[in-house]
Amino acid sequence: MRTYNYLIICLVLLSFFKGSVNADEIQLAIVKSYFTTIKPEKNLNPAKVKLGLILYKDKRFSKNNDVSCFSCHDLGAGGVDHLKSSTGTQKRIGDFNSPTVYNSHLNFVQTWNGRAASLEDQLDGPVGSEVEFGSSWNDIVEKLQKDKAIMKLYTKIYNSKMTSDNLKNALVEFERSLSTPDSKFDEYLRGKIELSLEEKSGLKLFINNGCVSCHQGEGIGGNLFQKLGVIIPYFDKSKKYKKFHYGKFNISKKERDKFVFKVPSLRNITLTAPYFHDGSIATLDRAIELMGFHQLGIKFSKKEVQEIKAFLKTLTGKVDGELIK
Ligand code: HEC
Ligand code: HEC
């Protein structure tokens, strides 16, 4: 725990030395030292993306043919299911809240506790999990290779019998196509537009108070691990919680990784309620308050919370030129 506290204090101090944003003026150059615009993936293979989307929506991935990736990561609903925790095959309920699939290829590791090193690795999670597909790659290949339409698309690309590696390859190619560029904030970073006064105040609060020490870069998060409750404990150490709350500790078994999670990306964050790894936080206002308090030791006023929220709203990006919903 010490190490994390120390690290975070260093990060916050560093952000001050780097240049805290002036109270009445905001320098684009400083903002640009923390964040970059979303750059959609280049050189994607359109045939693979097309097959990937078909697989993404295919309920035969699940044991009872009742759920698909789309069921828990609805592309018309911010890439999530808006449930506290997801419902898998045979209506089984899991522990974790479903993170968005939009921009997930930007994350340095996948899942809340970071146990999957890549999008390919991540796919073994839902397939085998009893609370997601409750299936196996063998069963999935068995079912899908009987589908003539899928096999036609598949053989054109892979020119081989169906394998789980190739199915993963197509799914990941599709996932890599799920960038949401050209948000209001990206246009601002490009110097093309101005933010409103309220949005700018929110951005200033976000930078000057140190949110940016954890949520930065292209994804505005998704590139480091941090403890939930790094300054003021979020969990009571003397109590026992369900295993999944211990985060990265479940993977590393190191004491210092208790309650440590991947810092989530805040891209499209207004669309992905409820919040936190367990989906226990219903509103963005509450998530901002708790972050201020537990991660930074700050109690924000109502006005400040609204300003930060206004800034976060500028992070909603576009797909095919339209803001995503
Ligand atoms: C039953 C609901 C459910 C299904 C079905 C499901 N997911 Fe998920 N997905 C989740 C949950 C819950 C998590 C978080 C799990 C964790 O952190 O351990 C997750 C995590 C992810 C992540 C990691 C995102 C991040 O920010 O870390 C990706 C990517 C993803 N899923 C893609 C998919 C794809 C592709 C499929 C289909 C092959 C799929 N999911 C099927 C619920 C589901
Ligand atoms: C010390 C690192 C750190 C700092 C500083 C920090 N966060 Fe976070 N943030 C996290 C972590 C870790 C999570 C994941 C919490 C969880 O899994 O339950 C998170 C989650 C969030 C979420 C919910 C995301 C989701 O998908 O559920 C929001 C919103 C958020 N942070 C905003 C902020 C704001 C605004 C600030 C500044 C007031 C801030 N954060 C400061 C590490 C940090």
Tell me whether residue 25 is one of the annotated catalytic residues. no
Q: Whose CA is nearest to atom 39 of ligand 1?
A: 69
Compute, in angstroms, the gap from residue 98 CA to the centroid of ligand 2: 16
Domains of the chain, first to last: 2-34+180-323 (1.10.760.10), 46-176 (1.10.760.10)
Tell me the mean pLDDT in the region 115-143: 94
Continuous H helices in 134-246: 137-144, 148-158, 164-176, 184-189, 197-208
- Quick check: CB of 292 below 6 Å from ligand 1? no
In degrees, rounded to 5, the angle at the alpha carbon of residue 193 between the alpha carbons of residues 188 and 196 is 85
Q: Kindly give the pairing relationship between strand 318-319 and strand 260-262.
A: unpaired
Q: Half-sphere exposure (CA, 13 Å, Cβ side) for 154?
A: 22
pLDDT score, position 23: 47
* Minimum-distance ligand 1 atom for the alpha carbon of 114: 27
pLDDT greater than 60 at residue 274: yes
3-state secondary structure of 146: coil
pLDDT score, position 95: 96
- Quick check: CB of 230 below 6 Å from ligand 2? yes
Tell me the per-residue pLDDT of 277-310, one tens digit each, with 9 for 90 and over.
999 999 999 999 999 999 999 999 999 999 999 9
Candidate of 87, 111, 135, 269 to mutate for ligand 1, largest count of ligand atoms within 8 Å of Cβ: 111
pLDDT score, position 237: 86
Residue 114 DSSP class: -
pLDDT greater than 50 at residue 214: yes
Tell me the mean pLDDT in the region 248-272: 97
Residue 89 pLDDT class (50, 70, 90 cuts)? confident
